[in-house]
A and B are shown apart, each in its own frame.
Chain A
């Protein structure tokens, strides 16, 4: 699981079966301090996040297991909102 920030939505009118009705969002993976890690990814939303929201995403097979039905071709899923990240004081 990694932290990320939602950059925006993605529209795909033609989808593989099982992905109908799913919301796709573009998410930039981040470090705990907000620094970007690598390139943005497209993740399926389960918590109704929107642009600017800080979220965490789960990758690979567990991304599909977060959905119902779970046997779907998905490898990134948003599974929670981040209210805050409390880092150790000493850094």
Chain B
């Protein structure tokens, strides 16, 4: 799972039936210091998150199918948590062992 920030919503009326009833968000991935890293992607919401929230995003299809209780589902990214705080400081990173 990755940290991300909800940048905005995607409005879509014509879509695959598996996407009906799911809010679709644009997510900017973040690193542990909560700064943007990498390209934006889309994810469906399951936890009533909102635009501007820092969220936890699962980017893997099997976990999505377990949560949505469907054997076949073409959703790959799902917002599964709203992050209150990330307590990870870069100084805590252990030095790589030689």
Residues of A within 8 A of B (CB): 1-3, 31-32, 37, 46-47, 56, 58-63, 65-66, 70, 77, 79-88, 90
Report the separation of the CA atoms of residues A32 and B40 in the bound assembly, to the nearest whole angstrom: 7
> What number of B residues sit within 8 Å (CB to CB) of A?
30
Nearest Cβ distance between residue A64 and chain B, in whole angstroms?
A: 8
Instruction: Determine the chain B residues whose CB is within 8 A of the CB of A47 once the complex forms.
Output: 14-16
Residues of chain B contacted by A81 (CB below 8 angstroms): 12-15
Give the one of B8, B14, B74, B77 with max A CB within 10 A: B74
Q: Give A32 Cβ to nearest chain B Cβ, in Å.
A: 4
Q: List 29 A-B contacts (CB under 8 A).
A: A1-B24, A1-B41, A2-B39, A3-B10, A31-B39, A37-B39, A46-B16, A47-B14, A56-B12, A56-B24, A58-B75, A58-B76, A61-B61, A62-B76, A65-B61, A65-B74, A77-B74, A79-B15, A80-B14, A81-B14, A81-B15, A84-B10, A84-B11, A85-B9, A85-B11, A86-B11, A87-B26, A88-B6, A88-B51
Closest beta carbon of chain A to B61's beta carbon, Å: 4
In the bound complex, residues from chain B placing their C-beta under 8 Å from that of A60 are 61, 76
* Partner-A contacts on B (CB < 8 A): 6-16, 18-19, 24, 26, 39-43, 51-52, 61, 64, 72-77
Most buried by B among A1, A77, A86: A1
User: Chain A nearest CB: distance from B30 CB in Å?
Assistant: 14
Please name the residue on chain B nearest to A68 by beta carbon: B72
Q: Complex formed: what's the CA distance from A59 to B9 in Å? A: 20
Complex interface: chain A residues within 8 A of B11 (CB):
82-86
